[in-house]
């Protein structure tokens, strides 16, 4: 084992850190959040550094990078509190497509994605369900010249601003995955802001007509693909949270060193020093847990892979909560305001537990998957 970054990884993360310092500043982030639409130039900046092509196989113009590099990259993106679709599109959708056997779709979409010319969203959640991946009421029907799609998906991360959606649906009673262009007739997107400064949508399908090539996979293959893609997404989300924790801990230490009460810096009070020490400990354990999942992603045994990912998610979510809540507490009243970036990081860390399966879901999944 070697935990030091390779020269390429170092160069990549250094460039990303410079980009974050340059374009993901607090005012820039806030401005983009307010605009409420995907900032194409920001997405292009990320693509230039290889974020959109990171997991795209080389044959489609990407870098075909390892999970370890993914961890390093998303850790930096988390530090910069990136709200663009770096996980939903560049990790989940790309992993799903890259591992599928639909060559035409891969050629069309992965190549464009690597170039930064396409954004994809994955629509898999439905009302009345929390995180189970099997669709309940979105249905596809086979027709003489393809398929039609009916149904409704909720909490679709970055659906607005995407060029196509990967959608789960029931086809002859089994799960199937389709690629649906965002401009398809009958597709409706209701877009909402989210508390952490990103976007999510409710997506409706009313008699959407699809070509036969739109089918990515069905049955067990579809289920395995989505599970694999979400496992990559969860690991990237954990890396993102660890980066955010690292930045937030640094910012909190800085604040306590400068803010004075009772004639001395707050950092001089032992009760606050211990809280900082606990934050640092949680942050270190969080990143260590994320390494566990990253190792797990290479597992051939899918059940074992998913179990390691679930256990990591539980631990990182707990660490994220502790660090987020502590940073607000240590900032005192200032931590409660919407005027510092500590709040933005706290909210992003809060969503770590809510997205892609919460703690109870992952504890149950780990239990179901056995040892």
What does the binding site for another protein look like in residue numbers (CB under 8 A)? 125, 127-132, 154-155, 190, 192-196, 200, 202, 260-263, 269, 271-272, 325, 328-329, 332-333, 335-339, 343, 346-347, 350-351, 353-355, 358-360, 363-364
Residue 362 Cβ vs another protein, minimum distance, rounded to whole Å: 11
Q: Which is nearer to another protein, 100 or 201 (CB)?
A: 201
Residue 41 Cβ vs another protein, minimum distance, rounded to whole Å: 25
CA–CA dist 122, 99 (Å, integer): 15
Q: Which is nearer to another protein, 5 or 269 (CB)?
A: 269
Helix, strand or coil, per DSSP, at residue 162: coil
| Structure token pair of residue 313 | 């998610």
Q: Is the dihedral of CA 219, 224, 230, 232 positive or negative?
A: negative
Residue 353 Cβ vs another protein, minimum distance, rounded to whole Å: 8
CA–CA dist 368, 371 (Å, integer): 9
What is the residue-wise DSSP string for 292-331?
A: HHHHHTT-SSHHHHHHHHHHHHHHHHHHHHHHHHHHHHHH
Please report, for residues 79, 93, 292, 308, 366, the alpha-carbon distance to residue 281 in angstroms, rounded to integers and kept in the order given: 17, 33, 17, 21, 24
Residue 208 — φ and ψ, nearest 5°?
A: -80, 125
Residue 356 Cβ vs another protein, minimum distance, rounded to whole Å: 9
Closest CA to 349 of 312, 311, 321: 321
Closest CA to 318 of 285, 345, 367, 273: 285
Q: Which is nearer to another protein, 142 or 190 (CB)?
A: 190
Q: Which is nearer to another protein, 125 or 214 (CB)?
A: 125
Residue 336 Cβ vs another protein, minimum distance, rounded to whole Å: 5
Q: Which is nearer to another protein, 48 or 127 (CB)?
A: 127
Q: Which is nearer to another protein, 139 or 305 (CB)?
A: 139
Residue 128 Cβ vs another protein, minimum distance, rounded to whole Å: 6
Q: Which is nearer to another protein, 154 or 280 (CB)?
A: 154
Residue 244 Cβ vs another protein, minimum distance, rounded to whole Å: 16
Closest CA to 241 of 166, 277, 293, 202: 293
Residue 340 Cβ vs another protein, minimum distance, rounded to whole Å: 10
Q: Which is nearer to another protein, 69 or 198 (CB)?
A: 198
CA–CA dist 160, 144 (Å, integer): 31
| Structure token pair of residue 80 | 């910069």
* 283 Cβ contact partners less than 8 Å away, ≥ 6 residues apart: 242, 245, 246, 249, 319, 323
């Amino acid at each position: 084992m070697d935990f030091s970054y390779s020269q390429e990884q170092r160069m990549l993360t250094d460039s990303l850190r410079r980009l974050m310092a340059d374009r993901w500043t607090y005012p820039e982030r806030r401005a983009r959040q307010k605009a409420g639409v995907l900032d194409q130039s920001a997405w292009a900046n990320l693509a230039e550094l290889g974020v959109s092509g990171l997991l795209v196989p080389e044959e489609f113009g990407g870098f075909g990078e390892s999970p370890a590099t993914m961890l390093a990259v998303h850790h930096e993106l988390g530090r910069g509190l990136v709200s663009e679709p770096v996980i939903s599109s560049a990790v989940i959708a790309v992993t799903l497509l890259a591992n599928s056997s639909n060559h035409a779709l891969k050629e069309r979409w992965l190549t464009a994605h690597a170039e930064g010319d396409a954004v994809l969203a994955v629509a898999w959640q439905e009302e009345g369900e929390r995180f189970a991946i099997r669709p309940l009421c979105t249905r596809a029907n086979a027709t003489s010249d393809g398929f039609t799609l009916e149904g409704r998906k909720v909490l679709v991360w970055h659906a607005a601003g995407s060029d196509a959606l990967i959608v789960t649906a029931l086809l002859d009673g089994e799960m199937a995955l389709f690629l649906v262009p965002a401009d398809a007739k009958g597709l409706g997107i209701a877009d909402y802001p989210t508390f952490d400064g990103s976007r999510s949508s409710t997506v409706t399908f009313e008699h959407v007509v699809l070509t036969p090539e739109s089918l990515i996979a069905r049955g067990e293959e579809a289920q395995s693909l989505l599970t694999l893609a979400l496992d990559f997404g969860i690991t990237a989300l954990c890396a993102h949270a660890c980066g955010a924790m690292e930045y937030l801990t640094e910012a909190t230490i800085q604040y306590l060193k400068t803010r004075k009460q009772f004639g001395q810096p707050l950092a001089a009070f032992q009760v606050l020093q211990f809280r900082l020490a606990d934050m640092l400990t949680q942050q270190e354990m969080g990143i260590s847990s994320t390494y566990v999942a990253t190792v797990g992603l290479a597992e051939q045994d899918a059940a074992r892979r998913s179990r390691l990912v679930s256990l990591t998610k539980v631990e990182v979510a707990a660490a994220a909560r502790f660090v987020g809540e502590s940073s607000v507490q240590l900032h005192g009243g200032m931590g409660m305001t919407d005027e510092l970036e500590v709040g933005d990081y706290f909210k992003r860390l809060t969503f770590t537990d809510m997205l892609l399966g919460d703690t109870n879901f992952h504890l149950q999944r780990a239990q179901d998957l056995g040892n």
